[in-house]
């Protein structure tokens, strides 16, 4: 059995140590907010936080998460930054199809938790690898700037 700290709760799972964290979240714990996209850590749909850093849960073995704090989209609104980012997403109508948005929001929150005044270059670097098939990148960047202003 492996014990994980997910969204502030300890969860025990009976999985192999090399099982991707994404499958533990989705299949073992039925937390389906974190999405499966490519399975290779390239698209960002599976982004979660591990000790505050944005990680690709599809390519992170569960063993790497033991003893660390995991945060998923299901709990992102518990902190002020998450609330502000989600409000900016809604205000600017960022979402189109929505499939990538949990990963986009998780990456944006990780950025803004460490940088309250990101430049366009900072945003582009932090969001690199989060692919939006609907190409709402302009609205995503605008929402991050909007959230940063609200946090100032």
CATH code at 27? 3.10.20.30
Q: How far apart are CA 43 and CA 23, in angstroms?
A: 16
Residues 111 and 132 in one domain: yes
| Containing structural domain, residue 135 | 76-151
In our burial notation (b when 16+ CB lie closer than 10 A, e otherwise), range 100-132 reads: bbbbbbbbbbbbbbeeeebeeebbeebbeebbb
Span 85-138, pLDDT tens digits: 999 999 999 998 989 999 999 999 999 999 999 999 999 999 999 999 999 999
Give the mean pLDDT of 69-83. 96
pLDDT of the residue at 3: 97
Residues 84 and 143 in one domain: yes
Residues 99 and 136 in one domain: yes
Number of domains in the chain: 2
Q: Around Cβ 133, how many Cβ atoms within 10 Å?
A: 12
Span 98-108, pLDDT tens digits: 899 999 999 99
Closest CA to 142 of 94, 80, 83: 94
Closest CA to 109 of 83, 131, 129, 142: 83
pLDDT of the residue at 94: 95
pLDDT of the residue at 45: 97
pLDDT of the residue at 73: 97
Residues 89 and 147 in one domain: yes
pLDDT of the residue at 82: 96
Span 5-49, pLDDT tens digits: 999 999 999 999 999 999 999 999 999 999 999 999 999 999 999
- Given a contact cutoff of 8 angstroms between Cβ atoms, the answer to whether 110 and 126 are in contact is yes
Strands (E), the chain: 2-6, 9-13, 47-50, 53-56, 69-71
Residues 124 and 138 in one domain: yes
């Amino acid at each position: 059995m492996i014990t994980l700290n997910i969204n502030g709760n300890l969860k025990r799972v009976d999985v192999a140590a090399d099982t991707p964290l994404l499958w533990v979240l989705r299949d073992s714990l039925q937390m389906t907010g974190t999405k499966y996209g490519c399975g290779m850590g390239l698209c960002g749909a599976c982004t979660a936080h591990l000790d505050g850093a944005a990680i690709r849960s599809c390519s992170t073995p569960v063993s790497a998460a033991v003893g660390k704090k995991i945060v998923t989209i299901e709990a992102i609104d518990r902190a002020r930054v998450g609330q502000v980012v989600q409000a900016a997403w809604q205000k600017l109508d960022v979402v189109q199809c929505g499939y990538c948005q949990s990963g986009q929001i998780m990456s944006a929150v990780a950025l803004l938790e460490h940088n309250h005044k990101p430049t366009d270059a900072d945003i582009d670097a932090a969001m690199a690898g989060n692919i939006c098939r609907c190409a709402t990148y302009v609205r995503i960047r605008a929402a991050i700037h909007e959230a940063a202003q609200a946090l100032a």
